[in-house]
Amino acid sequence: DIQMTQSPSTLSASVGDRVTITCRASQTLNSWLAWYQQRPGKAPKLLIYKTSSLQSGVPSRFSGSGSGTEFTLTISSLQPDDFATYYCLDYHSYSRTFGQGTKVEIK
Amino acid sequence: EVRLMESGGGLVQPGGSLRLSCEVSGFTFSSYWMSWVRQAPGKGLEWVANIKVDGSEKYYVDSVKGRFTISRDNAKNSLDLQMNSLRVEDTAVYYCARDWNGSGHPMDVWGQGTTVTVSS
């Protein structure tokens, strides 16, 4: 089974900061990697799919990159709404695997 | 408007059963794979199961294989998750989500979740 490892687990940042979250897979995903944002008590929201495609309605400050087994989510200028938990998702096969999550906190 | 609404959650004793349902509207249900995802209290997201557009293929996370069964009724636009032999560690918020339709993106629309508590 594929293992998805996110880093860091927690990130403290300020409004306006550039933030990068990394997701490493135990085997190649061929670009089938997505990113989600989840606020407390809410359902997850799809931000990025197929490594770098921005989901409709998602602000352009969010971007994704990577290939093979290493992927990143970048928030170019952190906004108050962005303090949340972020998850990567492997969907290269029929089953799915989430990373353990990265909580972005206010510094 | 695309909507998914889960129901059927509640309190059940270990070893018991529960059936979750997800009613959908606003899109062509029969064109999408569908998934169940859960989140234990204070923990991360865990994909549970998914089902192909016509119900012919089903996949499960190892921890629920043999205990949970995913099903769908395309005529009624509904998705179910039958959960048997429930364990304390199955306690979670369960979400249904619209999944793959060949366009490149995975779970893009989610319900609000239904809470399952397994406790004696």
| Least CB–CB distance from A95: residue in B45, B59, B110 | B59
- A44–chain B Cβ distance below 8 A for any pair: yes
Question: 3-state DSSP call for residue B14?
Answer: coil
- A87–chain B Cβ distance below 8 A for any pair: yes
End-to-end alpha-carbon separation of chain B, Å? 40
Burial B62-75 (b: 16+ CB within 10 A, else e): eebeeebbbebeee
pLDDT in tens, A6-59: 999 999 999 999 999 999 999 998 899 999 999 999 999 999 999 999 999 999
Residue range B80-100: average pLDDT?
98
| Least CB–CB distance from B106: residue in A45, A49, A101 | A49
Closest CA to A95 of B31, B87, B70: B70
Nearest-Cα residue of chain A relative to residue B60: A95
Is residue A91 within 8 A of residue A36, CB to CB? The reply is no
pLDDT in tens, A87-107: 999 999 999 999 999 999 999
Map tokens 């949340």 to a residue: A84
β-pair partners for B3: B25
The pLDDT, as a whole number, for residue B104 is 87
The pLDDT, as a whole number, for residue A27 is 93
Residue B51 tokens, joined: 């089902």
The pLDDT, as a whole number, for residue B64 is 98
Residue A50 tokens, joined: 């197929």
- A86–chain B Cβ distance below 8 A for any pair: no
CA angle (B8 as vertex; A101, B85 as ends), nearest 5: 75
- A43–chain B Cβ distance below 8 A for any pair: yes
Q: Which of residues 47-106 of B touch A (CB under 8 A)?
A: 47, 50, 57, 59-62, 95, 100, 104-106
Query: Which of B5, B37, B45, B50 should be substituted to probe chain A, the one whose Cβ sees the most A Cβ atoms within 10 Å?
Result: B45
